[in-house]
Structure 1
Amino acid sequence: MLEGFKNHMGAFKNSSWRVKLSALIMGSGQILYGCVAKGLIFLLFEIGFISYMVHRGCNDIKGFFTLGTQKADAWLGIAGDNSVVMLLMGIFAWIVVILFIGIYVSNIKDVINIENTIISGKNPKGFVDELKEFVDRKFYVTVLVLPVIGICVFNILPIIFMVLISFTNYGGSIVPPELVDWVGLENFKKILTLSKFAPTFIRILGWNILWAVVSTTLNYFAGIGLALLLNKDCVKGKAIFRAFPILAYAIPGFITLLAFKFMFSYGGPINHMIKSAGGVPIGFLDLDAKWIARLIGLLVNCWISVPSIMLLATGHLSNRDMSLYEAARIDGATPFQQFKKLTMPFMLFATMPVLLGQFIGNFNNFGIFYFLRGGLYLDGYFLASDTDLLINWLYNLSIDNNYYCIGAAISLIIFIITSVISLVVYVNSPSYKEEDTFQ
Structure 2
Amino acid sequence: MAAAVLQAPLLLPPLPASKSSSGLLAGAAAGAASVSAVVPGRVSGVLGFPARREIGDCYIWGGWSGEDGRLSGGSARPVLLHHTHTLDVIQVAASGAPGAQHAALLTRGGEVYTWGSGAGGKLGHGTSSSVAAPQQVVRLFGKGAVAVACGHTYTAAVLRDGGLYTWGTGLGGQLGLGEQSGPTQLWPARVHLSRPPCPQERVESVACGPYHLAAISSAGVLYTWGDGLFGKLGHGSHDSCAAPRAVDALRGSRVVGVSCGWWHTAAVAVPRGGGGVAVRQRRRTAGGSRAGAGSSGSDADASDSSAAGDGGPRGGGGGDWGGGGGGCVGGALFTWGGDFTWQLRGKRDHHHGCLGHGDLAGRLVPTQVLGEDDVRQVVCGRNFTVALNGIGQVLQMGSTGAVRAGPLPRRSGGNRGRPPNIAS
- Please give the range of the TM-score, normalised by the shorter of the 2 chains: under 0.3
Whose strand fraction is larger, Structure 1's or Structure 2's? 2
TM-score of the pair, normalised by structure 2 = 0.22
Higher RCO (C-alpha 8 Å, min separation 6):
2
With normalisation by structure 1, the TM-score equals: 0.22
